[in-house]
Amino acid sequence: MTISFEMTLDGVFDQMEHWFDENDPGLQRASDELVFGADAVLLGRESYEFFREYWPKQTDDRGFAAHYNALPKYVASTTLTGPLDWNATLIEGDVAEAVRGLREQYGSIISHGYGGLAAALVDAGLVDEIRAGIHPFMVGTDGQRLTTPHPVGLKLLGVESTDSGIIAARYAPASSAN
């Protein structure tokens, strides 16, 4: 399972209208690699609600939107109920247990964002890779920042940079790194 998120240099991952450039060629390459290689998507409630409003309306000449929209999606939420739209299934019960089952079913699962779901997945030892897109922008005192309930050691797997200064860093949790 791979967790992917974008953030500013000072760790903010919301307020993206100020700093996120979806047209950056390097970011598109990294996104293509991640999404076209995925068999399923795991989302928390907030990411699901945002993405289900955004992605079904998108088109592109790369086929990215069509592929992303077609992927099966699984949503971890304690507040959503009933059947979900956008090719999504609500995870009921123990999320870690459900994700273990999904890992047996799908070769490559991706998750977007680094909120409570991502922290819980790392804590449960279910994350193989963390991909962070670090954008050359600092928000200051505003914005939601990455959090984890306890320190998590990481091993660097690789790093690239784009012409616009975005750093694409790939890590593995140290406990699962080879």
**39 or 28: whose pLDDT is higher?**
39
Average pLDDT over residues 51-79: 95
Residue 18 has pLDDT above 90, yes or no: no
What whole-number percentage of the chain has pLDDT above 90? 70
Measured between alpha carbons, how far is 40 from 109 in angstroms, rounded to an integer? 5
Bridge partner residues of 172 (DSSP): 155
Read off the tokens for 10.
Answer: 């000072």
Q: Are 129 and 110 in contact (CB under 8 A)?
A: no
List domains and CATH numbers for the chain.
2-173 (3.40.430.10)
Give the β-pairing of 109-112 and 40-44.
parallel
Residue 177 has pLDDT above 70, yes or no: no
Average pLDDT over residues 16-43: 90
Q: State the pLDDT at residue 178.
A: 46
pTM here? 0.91
pLDDT range class, residue 99, cuts 50, 70, 90 = very high
Measured between alpha carbons, how far is 99 from 69 in angstroms, rounded to an integer? 20
Residue with tokens 């099966």: 72
**76 or 82: whose pLDDT is higher?**
76
Q: State the pLDDT at residue 35.
A: 96
Average pLDDT over residues 50-75: 95
**How many whole angstroms from its chain centre is CA 81?**
22
Q: Are 79 and 95 in contact (CB under 8 A)?
A: no
Query: pLDDT tens digit string along 107-160?
Result: 999 999 888 899 999 999 999 999 999 999 998 877 777 777 778 899 999 999
Q: State the pLDDT at residue 34.
A: 96
